[in-house]
């Protein structure tokens, strides 16, 4: 993966490619982190909704805003085998 210098920050080429005037790089990072988290929770046996697993970047922006606050990104899911465990 190629790295691109941008001022004082080095960014991966793949993030730069999807980041444009309509997208903030932090929003994309939050989106990718949340997507990874949902996949990991699902793989480990937690109840993760299909809508959370298939959430697109544009849906993420609609749901959390262009500049989401970290405290709004929290999740609470239960274990499939024991719903009382969260």
Residues 38-81 pLDDT 10s:
999 999 999 999 999 999 999 999 999 989 999 999 999 999 88
pLDDT at 5: 47
Q: Does residue 26 surpass a pLDDT of 80?
A: yes
Q: Which of 1-5, 8-12, 15-19, 33-37 has the highest mean pLDDT?
A: 33-37
pLDDT at 22: 54
More confident residue, 5 or 52: 52
Output the pLDDT for position 15: 55
Distance CA 68, CA 33 (A): 13
- CATH no., domain 25-86: 3.40.1340.10
Per-residue model confidence (pLDDT) at position 17:
57
Integer angstrom CA distances of residue 9 from 16, 18, 25:
12, 17, 11
The domain spans of the chain are: 25-86
* Beta strand residue intervals within the chain, DSSP E: 3-6, 9-12
Distance CA 78, CA 76 (A): 7
């Amino acid at each position: 993966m190629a790295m691109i210098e941008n001022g004082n920050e080095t960014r991966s080429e793949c993030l730069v490619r999807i980041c444009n005037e309509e997208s903030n790089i932090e929003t994309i990072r939050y989106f990718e982190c949340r997507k990874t988290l949902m996949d990991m929770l699902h793989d480990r046996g937690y109840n993760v909704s299909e809508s959370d697993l298939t959430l697109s970047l544009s849906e993420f922006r609609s749901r959390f805003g262009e500049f989401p606050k970290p405290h709004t990104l929290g999740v609470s899911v239960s274990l499939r085998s024991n719903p009382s465990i969260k």
